[in-house]
């Protein structure tokens, strides 16, 4: 731990540690070297969130690297949450990128397994999975806290990163999910961002189990929210996204809003969720994944009463 | 055993296009058991190739042969008298066969007629599934007899990932999520605590990642 008592000193860490209800956003890098496009997507999030997740070739589709896009955010005065998946890099490249990210001023890192390459635009590629997400979490922690590489060699200057991990409360087998969360916390996750939540009763049950097991005392859990743009999107997510639970009555509600009003209904539901999460024991914040809808974040943040964002020194 | 599938006929025909007289060598090992390169398959492929070439007006001589195994020099040696009487030799064994043949008879050309796929077994008649990735460090006892290295699409040691749904893998509805089975068995048997354990990053040197492998049994080496 660094001299000021912070693990990385990221804004997200400070906000959470000060006891504020955190609010993070997300930004997928462009399919090209187009910096202007990236800026267009990240600028609406300025001042609206405490950190911005930068996805790592999400759904296995090639995009600008998450490290480069995170670095561009740092340069623009925004705080990235650098995502890294296990699909594309072996432990040599991972450790190298972890050091590189820290050297570039990146202070948050989310450790993920990654969607299988068969989903993406290069299904012919070799999958790596040298280590898994659990081992990646432990690796970053070891590098940061022990100042050692995976092979125990000393690092001359350890990386400073606030370590994040994902949790899917709705993945099968459901009874095991809270234990997998516990494993990630034991491995070293400082904060957790959950999969998009639509089934509130099931999430309430999940978080209650996490609270009962004392997990929410050991880590910060940020509840995942993705506003639905349309009934079509809701149906697609229900049908085609593995591990996603979209209740039929929510689809009905969005559909029921009628043409031209579905997006507003989706936003309304997201705001209701955020307001409930603010009061929910064990939830330390919200992770808002407004997929290709970054410009709507200010409006959602405002209406959900998330503004202004706290400043912690 | 090693599971293989026969290559598409067209690909085989393309390989032997320049030749008029070939030998087709089957194997009585794994490929016989998985119905890819045994006696029956040799006979079927040989007649198919002959008929097709006859139609083209350029008849092909196909000599059918079976070897006990093509992964053993002792049996490979049995072709010593005949291998050079053909324009080319086709092997119906796994990928080991054409290589052992090439090594024994460097002047001849050898072609594979099957695609070698994995180590596994028959789960029902006509259906084979992968069970082993040959990683060189077996850990299946930690996972109640189910190998996550070979059977999880991401070889996760701490699964299941967020993509597991309804007992199936995110990659395909044809793939069982092995982690779902592992977890369910642990819960059933009251040993969920086993899955609270952390496994260190695997040492892949014993797998193909350490380079081509060799196994030496000192007591057998003269």
Q: H-type helices in chain B, by residue range? A: 9-15, 30-33, 39-55, 73-76, 96-104, 148-151, 178-188
- The CA distance from B196 to the nearest CA of chain A, in Å, is 6
DSSP string, A237-272: HHHHSTT----HHHHHHHHHT-TTTHHHHHHHHHHH
Q: Return the DSSP state at B201.
A: P
Question: Which residue of chain B has the CA closest to A188?
Answer: B198
Q: Which H/E stretch holds residue A202?
A: helix A200-212
Interface test with B, best of A138, A172, A192, A243 (most B CBs within 10 A): A172
> Which 3 state secondary structure label does DSSP give A81?
strand
Confidence band of A3 (pLDDT split at 50, 70, 90):
low
Give bridge partners of residue A225 from the DSSP assignment: A288
Give the CA count within 13 Å in the CB-facing half-sphere of A116.
18
Residue A19 carries which DSSP code?
Answer: T
Select the residue of A87, A173, A182 nearest B180 (Cβ to Cβ): A173
Q: Please tell me whether residue B192 adopts helix, strand or coil conformation.
A: helix
Nearest to A243 among B165, B172, B200 (CB): B165
pLDDT digits (tens, 9 = 90+) for A167-210: 999 988 888 999 999 999 999 999 999 999 999 999 999 999 99
CB contact under 8 A, B199 and A135: yes
The ranges assigned to domains in chain B are 2-117, 133-202
Q: How far is CA B25 from CA B40, B51, B80, B92, B102, in A?
A: 12, 18, 13, 6, 13
How many residues are present in chain A? 313
Mean pLDDT calculated for residue range B38-55: 98
The model's confidence at residue B3, banded by pLDDT at 50, 70 and 90, is very high
Residue B36: pLDDT above 60? yes
pLDDT at residue A174, as a whole number: 87
Partners of B120 in the beta sheet?
Answer: B130
The greatest distance separating any two alpha carbons of chain A, rounded to the nearest whole angstrom, comes to: 61
Which of 2.30.30.30, 3.40.50.2300, 1.10.357.10, 1.10.150.80 would CATH assign to domain B2-117? 3.40.50.2300
Which residues 84-103 of A have a C-beta within 8 angstroms of B? Answer: 86-87, 91
Nearest by CB to residue B201, choosing from A135, A171, A186, is: A135
Q: Chain B neighbours among A 181-210 (CB < 8 Å)? A: 182-183, 186-187, 195
Interface pTM, i.e. ipTM: 0.94
Contacts of A234 (CB under 8 A, 6+ apart): A198, A228, A246, A250, A251, A254, A255, A266
A&B contacts, CB < 8 Å: 102
Q: Is B161 on the interface with A (CB under 8 A)?
A: yes
Confidence of residue B122 (pLDDT cuts 50, 70, 90): very high
Which residues face A25 on adjacent strands? A52
- pLDDT (0 to 100) of residue A1: 52
**Domain A11-303 in this protein, CATH class:** alpha beta
Rounded CA-CA distance B53/B61 in Å is 9
């Amino acid at each position: 731990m660094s001299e000021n008592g912070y693990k990385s000193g990221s804004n997200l860490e400070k906000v959470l540690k000060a006891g504020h209800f955190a609010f993070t956003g997300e930004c997928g890098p462009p399919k090209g070297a187009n910096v202007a496009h990236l800026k267009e997507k990240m600028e609406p999030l300025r001042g609206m969130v405490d950190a911005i997740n930068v996805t790592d070739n999400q759904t296995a589709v090639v995009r600008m690297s998450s490290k480069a896009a995170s670095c561009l955010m740092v340069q623009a005065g925004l705080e990235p949450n650098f995502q890294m998946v296990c699909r594309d890099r072996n432990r040599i490249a991972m450790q190298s990128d972890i050091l590189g990210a820290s050297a570039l001023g990146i202070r948050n890192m989310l450790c993920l397994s990654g969607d299988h390459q068969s989903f993406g635009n290069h299904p012919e590629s070799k999958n790596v999975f040298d280590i898994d997400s659990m081992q990646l979490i432990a690796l970053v922690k070891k590098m940061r806290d022990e100042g050692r590489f995976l092979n125990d060699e000393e690092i001359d200057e350890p990386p400073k990163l606030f370590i994040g991990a994902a949790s899917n409360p709705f993945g099968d087998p459901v009874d095991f999910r809270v234990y997998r969360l516990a494993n990630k916390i034991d491995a070293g996750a400082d904060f957790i961002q959950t999969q998009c939540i639509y089934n509130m009763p099931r999430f309430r049950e999940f978080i209650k189990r996490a609270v009962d097991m004392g997990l929410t005392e050991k880590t910060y859990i940020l509840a995942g929210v993705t506003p639905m743009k349309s009934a079509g999107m809701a149906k697609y997510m229900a049908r085609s996204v593995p591990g996603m639970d979209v209740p039929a009555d929510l689809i009905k509600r969005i559909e029921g809003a009628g043409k031209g009003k579905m997006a507003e209904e989706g936003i309304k539901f997201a705001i209701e969720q955020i307001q409930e999460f603010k009061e929910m024991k064990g939830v330390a914040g919200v992770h808002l994944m407004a997929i290709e809808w970054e410009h709507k974040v200010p409006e959602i943040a405002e209406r959900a009463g998330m503004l202004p964002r706290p400043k912690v020194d | 055993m090693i599971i293989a599938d026969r290559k598409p006929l067209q690909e085989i025909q393309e390989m032997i296009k320049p030749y008029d007289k070939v030998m087709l060598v089957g194997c009585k090992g794994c490929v016989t058991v998985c119905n890819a390169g045994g006696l029956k398959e040799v006979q079927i492929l040989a007649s198919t190739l002959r008929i097709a070439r006859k139609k083209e007006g350029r008849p092909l001589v196909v000599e059918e042969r079976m070897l006990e195994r093509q992964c053993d020099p002792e049996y490979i040696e049995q072709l010593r008298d005949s291998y050079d009487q053909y324009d080319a030799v086709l092997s119906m064994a796994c990928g080991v066969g054409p290589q052992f043949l090439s090594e024994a008879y460097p002047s001849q050309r050898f072609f594979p007629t099957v695609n070698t796929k994995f180590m596994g077994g028959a789960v029902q008649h006509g259906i084979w599934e992968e069970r082993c990735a040959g990683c060189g460090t077996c850990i299946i006892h930690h996972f109640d007899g189910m190998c996550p290295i070979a059977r999880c699409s991401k070889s996760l040691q701490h699964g299941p990932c967020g993509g597991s749904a309804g007992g199936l893998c995110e990659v395909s509805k044809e793939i069982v999520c092995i982690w779902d089975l592992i977890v369910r068995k642990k819960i059933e048997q009251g040993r969920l605590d086993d899955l609270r354990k952390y496994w260190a990053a695997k040492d892949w040197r014993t797998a193909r990642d350490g380079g081509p492998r060799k196994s030496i049994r000192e007591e057998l080496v003269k």
